[in-house]
Structure 1
Amino acid sequence: MCCPSATLAVWSSAWLSGAAAPDDVLDALEVWGEAHEVVAHDPATGSTFDLPVDGAVPAPPARLLGSLRRLGIADGRLVLPVAGDVRGLGAGGPFASAALHVGEALVFADVGFGVVPRHLAEGLWRWTVFPLTEHPVSGRPAPEYVPLGEAEHGLTEAVRDSAGTLQTLDVARDRPGVRAELSARLRSRPHPAWPSGMPGRALRVLQRADEVAAILELAKADEPGGAVSASAAARRAQALRPLDDAVRRARCAAVNEAARLLAAAEKS
């Protein structure tokens, strides 16, 4: 399921490559909410993207799609930042703050802009286009490239290592009904459709990352169990952190590889 930014990243690439219609992109976004609107963070960005500035009457997402094509953007890159890992967000600024606050964004590094979704109300999302803040030394920010195979292997390794640590702490015990609870969590999440040209391996990695993320949620919601001391509880959280990182890394790699391959289809 990942997030709205992942849906827009993959479907906008499919549309820009000619593998999908604009309505397909809009339909795919509806799994997250019935209504989506787009604004620009500042007047200069609004002028570039032909969008109203935040505070004015917002534009429909079709306006953003048209601007992406007009600006010659082939694909965007998903970032899933958390405190302590803000790679791809640049040297701070409004875009970095907004992306870190919601934990996701789409970066168009080639043209120096990023898009951040925000859930305003039930069924309503607002997408804001920001200029990227360049670093004085490294320049314009760009998401880290992670080969899909490397990310998939890292997720498998993190699952194995975390399971061993949790077993040592006596918190990886079986729980009555845990499989049913896990299945219910997975069924209750949004299930966006993907373009017909969605690469199979990227889809497999996304599905695996979703399964591990659901297991993580159960582990975090569960009582510490055998980890009765504060130090053991801290070690339990530390054991889960690499798994969190591996899930985010795998999701970004899968989405970005899918977007890249869909964009490349236009050139072939």
Structure 2
Amino acid sequence: MSCPSATLTVWASAWLAGAAAPDDVLDALAPWAAAHDVQAADADTGALTALPAPGEPVGSVTFLLAALRRLGGSGSAARLVLPAPGDVRGLPGPGMFSREATAAAEGVLFVDAGIGVVPTTVADGVLRWTVYPVTDPGPPAGYVALSQAETDLRDQVRRSASVLTALGVARHRPGVREEIAAALRARPQSLWPAGMPGRVLRVLQHADEVAAILAAASGDDPGGALSASAATARRDALRPIDAAVRVARRAAVAEAVRVLATSPMV
């Protein structure tokens, strides 16, 4: 589940490490959209990457993979970024990539290749990956051990029930728990490489569960019943849980990239 950028981060890393084929990357992205295309952000980036510039026919994800190989070789480190208001950890400095990744709340930074990509829906069933130049990737988000991220996320899972109750979500909408379960079933089911560590998969699954709870809690205000102060209190209460989800996803994907880069399967 997670997000399209997490899928691309892991599978592009697996491909660069010789642990996946290009078709594997395409298959893994398929649950997110029926079609994926690739385009450079501008003519200069198109010249740098040999990817189609705006106004030219779009390319495919295989074009992006080929560009990564040319620009960064087999060691093109991939960094998942999940920016949010007040939290831009992992982003480079100001620029096109940072701006668009913040707007999309996700993106992938290929450090050695000097590019970043951001997915956006451009038509029904079509996801476009726009490629931006990144001359200085900046520091990665602070390191968080996967074991710590898992522990913190489990704490948030336990907290979520009391948070929902305290915020009155269950009272306003009694079937909210069934709604959360249905939302989890309906979301795209991510495919992961065979070499993904079990703890990584567990953390990503827990993050998806908490994200579904957050979506229900954030969107529940029947008829605008909440006062401005109550709505602010709700946002404040949910913000640490949202941050824990992002930290856990980043930590899990970073660990997957590390494992896949050091233990090629083919």
The TM-score, its normalising length taken from structure 2, stands at 0.88
Q: Distance in 2 between matches of 1:31 and 1:153?
A: 29
**Structure-2 change in CA distance of 1:69 and 1:266 (3 Å):** farther
1:103 partner amino acid: A
Unaligned runs of 5+ in 2: none
2:239 is matched with which residue?
A: 241
**Structure-2 change in CA distance of 1:161 and 1:51 (3 Å):** same
1:17 is matched with which residue?
A: 17
Residue 219, structure 1, aligned to residue 222, structure 2:
no
2:65 is matched with which residue?
A: 65
Asked if the contact 1:109–1:140 (Cα under 8 Å) also holds between the matched residues in 2, the reply is no
Paired-residue identity, %: 56
2:191 partner amino acid: A
2:249 partner amino acid: R
Q: Distance in 1 between matches of 2:124 and 2:167?
A: 40
The structure with more helix, counted as a fraction of residues: 2
Which of the numbers 153, 174, 177 marks the counterpart of 1:176?
A: 174
Which of the numbers 189, 192, 199 marks the counterpart of 2:190?
A: 192
1:148 is matched with which residue?
A: 146
1:92 is matched with which residue?
A: 94
The TM-score, its normalising length taken from structure 1, stands at 0.88
**Structure-2 change in CA distance of 1:38 and 1:231 (3 Å):** same
Which of the numbers 121, 124, 132 marks the counterpart of 2:123?
A: 121
Asked if the contact 1:92–1:133 (Cα under 8 Å) also holds between the matched residues in 2, the reply is no
Asked if the contact 1:109–1:141 (Cα under 8 Å) also holds between the matched residues in 2, the reply is no
Q: Distance in 1 between matches of 2:226 and 2:97?
A: 41
Deviation at 1:232, TM superposition (A): 3.5
Within 5 Å, give how 1:26-105 maps onto structure 2.
26-70=26-70, 71-72=72-73, 73-105=75-107
2:251 partner amino acid: A
Q: Distance in 2 between matches of 1:142 and 1:168?
A: 35
Deviation at 1:251, TM superposition (A): 1.0
Asked if the contact 1:36–1:60 (Cα under 8 Å) also holds between the matched residues in 2, the reply is yes
Other structure's SS at 1:82 match: coil
Residue 252, structure 1, aligned to residue 250, structure 2:
yes
Which of the numbers 147, 154, 157 marks the counterpart of 2:155?
A: 157
Q: Distance in 2 between matches of 1:154 and 1:130?
A: 33
Other structure's SS at 2:206 match: helix
Q: Distance in 1 between matches of 2:125 and 2:49?
A: 25
Deviation at 1:185, TM superposition (A): 0.6
**Over residues 172-213 of structure 1, what are the superposed CA-to-partner deviations in whole Å (9 max), with x where a residue is unaligned?**
659533332222111110002111111111010000010111
Q: How many residues align?
A: 263
Q: Distance in 2 between matches of 1:48 and 1:107?
A: 16
Other structure's SS at 2:32 match: coil
Deviation at 1:150, TM superposition (A): 1.9
Deviates more, 1:20-29 or 1:168-177: 168-177
Other structure's SS at 1:26 match: helix
